[in-house]
Amino acid sequence: MSKRIITISREFGSGGRAIGKQVAERLGIAYYDKELIEKIAEGTGFSKEFIQEYGEHAPGKNIFSYSFLGRTASGMSMQDYIWTEQKKIIKELADKEPCVIVGRCADYILRRREDCLHVFVHAAMDKKVERIVSLYGETVDKPEKKLRDIDKKRSVNYQYYTDREWGQSQNYHLCLDSGVFGIEKCVDLIVDLAGK
Amino acid sequence: MSKRIITISREFGSGGRAIGKQVAERLGIAYYDKELIEKIAEGTGFSKEFIQEYGEHAPGKNIFSYSFLGRTASGMSMQDYIWTEQKKIIKELADKEPCVIVGRCADYILRRREDCLHVFVHAAMDKKVERIVSLYGETVDKPEKKLRDIDKKRSVNYQYYTDREWGQSQNYHLCLDSGVFGIEKCVDLIVDLAGK
């Protein structure tokens, strides 16, 4: 078994991005996270900041921001337009080269490919708080609330566009508690399971 | 990190039991599956068959079988009585010795212990059908329906007694797709992560 593409979905603060980056380095393959945002921004004409803010946040729970975002000339909502572009770009990347893709429902978008390893990374709340405070400093206001809010948005976005539950183990080949195993061990496991 | 207790929750047909058994053998620790049913049967006075049939099946979805099961002299429903006994026995086993425990919401019952590794094993439907047909023969009538029915019952039971979602990755430290990795690799991973 050898997997060309590794998708990493992650709870905010779980270290999923760091894990993805290290996996890509160890395997010597491309890593798409911010680079993906840039590509979607280019493809849609929106700013990177706009894509960063709205690309993983569904309209489902916030009708006002949804309405506010408006619609394209073709009548498609802005978020649906971003979703369509995101899907296209992720599929193109997967066709182009072996890579690690973080977030953006890539596990769902690439679910029919056989050459993917789909991973979900999570951790207990205290471990995530510890991590974001150590990364962003003590200035993070109400870290637990911030963590919950961001994951809630990711979860709603995922459910809205995929009709599946975010973090439901059956959607992934491997789910890991990075708080228990540590970042390094998670990297080792993914590299091993990717079949290199 | 070293984990004394390994709980394995599993979709029917995923090979979770076989994985649990092999993990226990490799680590040289006790294995509780049928043995657990026997203990619960002894503790409650019910037959093994009765515990096997009802211990992982909640009243939630089937009011008729629930009523039919009746109540104990103390007014507790039979299924709540089995649950109470099951909880007590699982906690006692975990106190007594290092072991692998398969099913029966052990991950939830032992959630506050630090010395546990909680694992969930699942697989795609075609892989599970292949497995149960190879184990039980071609005579299995409508294998897909059988698989769905059993897991539906396990899921409802889990939700009823734990208020959590069965198979939701955050409830476990490690979730594995045994159809993709194979039984042997899953055993290797769990043995490795248990820290022996």
Picking from B11, B168, B173, the nearest residue to A167 by CB comes out as B168
Beta strands in A60-196 (DSSP E): 99-102, 116-122, 174-177
How much is the pLDDT for B73?
Answer: 63
User: Does A46 or A27 have the greater pLDDT score?
Assistant: A27
Q: Which residues of A touch B (CB under 8 A)?
A: 1, 11, 120, 122, 165, 167-170, 172-177, 180-181, 185, 189, 193
Helix/strand/coil for B120: strand
Q: What percent of chain B has pLDDT over 90?
A: 63
The pLDDT of residue A70 is 60
Mean pLDDT of A72-92: 83
For the cut 70, the answer to whether the pLDDT of residue B151 exceeds it is yes
Architecture of domain B5-193: 3-Layer(aba) Sandwich (3.40)
Whole-angstrom Cα distance, residue B190 to residue B167? 17
Report the residue from A168, A172, A180 with minimal CB separation from B173. Answer: A180
Quickly state the pLDDT bin for B136 (edges 50, 70, 90).
confident
Q: Which strands make up the sheet holding B174-177, listed edge to edge?
A: A30-32, A99-102, A5-10, A116-122, A174-177, B174-177, B116-122, B5-10, B99-102, B30-32
Residue of chain A nearest B173, judged by CA positions? A177
Q: Please state the pTM of the whole predicted model.
A: 0.90
Across B113-118, average pLDDT? 95
Most confident of A110-114, A135-139, B1-5, B62-66: A110-114
Q: Where are the domains of chain B?
A: 5-193
| Residue B65 confidence (pLDDT) above 60 | no
| ipTM at complex level | 0.89
* Cβ contact, residue pair B170, A122, below 8 Å: yes
pLDDT given for residue B2 in this prediction: 73
Q: Which of B170, B173, B174 shows the shortest C-beta gap to A167?
A: B170
* Interface mutation target, options B155, B175, B181, chain A, most CBs of A under 10 Å: B175
Q: Helix, strand, or coil here: A45? A: coil
Nearest to A154 by CA among A77, A79, A85, A55: A55
Name chain B contacts of A169, Cβ cutoff 8 Å: 120, 122, 167-169, 172, 175
Q: Name which of A132-141, B39-48, B55-64, B108-117 the model is least confident about.
A: B55-64
pLDDT at B79: 82
Closest Cα in chain B, distance from residue A141 (Å): 24
Q: How confident is the model at residue A55 (pLDDT cuts 50, 70, 90)?
A: low
User: B5 - beta bridge partners?
Assistant: B99, B116
Alpha-carbon dihedral of residues A161, B169, A3, A164, nearest 10 degrees?
A: -20
Q: Among B3, B22, B21, which residue's Cα sits nearest to residue B98?
A: B3
Residue A112 pLDDT more than 80?
A: yes
pLDDT confidence of residue A24: 96
pLDDT of residue A62: 43
Going by C-beta distance under 8 Å and a sequence separation of 6 or more, which residues neighbour residue A22? A183, A187
What integer pLDDT is reported at residue A67 of this predicted model? 46
Instruction: Give SS3 for B72.
Output: coil
Q: What is the DSSP letter of A71?
A: B
CB-CB under 8 Å, B189 with A120: no
Say yes or no to pLDDT of B72 above 50.
yes
Q: Are strands A30-32 and B116-122 parallel, antiparallel or unpaired?
A: unpaired
pLDDT band per the 50, 70, 90 thresholds, residue B55: low
Interface A–B counts its CB contacts (< 8 A) at 55
pLDDT given at position A66: 44
Q: Which among B11, B169, B173 is the nearest to A168, CB-wise?
A: B169
The closest alpha carbon to B6, from A133, A91, A51, A180, belongs to A180
Q: φ and ψ at A32, to 5 degrees? A: -120, 115
Report strand pairing: A174-177 vs A116-122: parallel
Cβ of A167 and B167 within 8 Å?
Answer: no
Contact A169/B172, CB-based, under 8 Å?
yes
> Is beta strand B174-177 parallel, antiparallel or unpaired with respect to A174-177?
antiparallel
* Inter-chain residue contact A180 with B122, CB threshold 8 Å: no
Lowest mean per-residue pLDDT among A60-74, A169-183, B47-61: A60-74
Note the pLDDT of residue B77: 79
Q: Name the minimum distance, in Å, from the CA of B64 to any CA of chain A.
A: 30
What sign has the CA pseudo-torsion B35, B103, B176, B16?
positive
Distance from CA of A167 to the nearest CA of B (A): 6
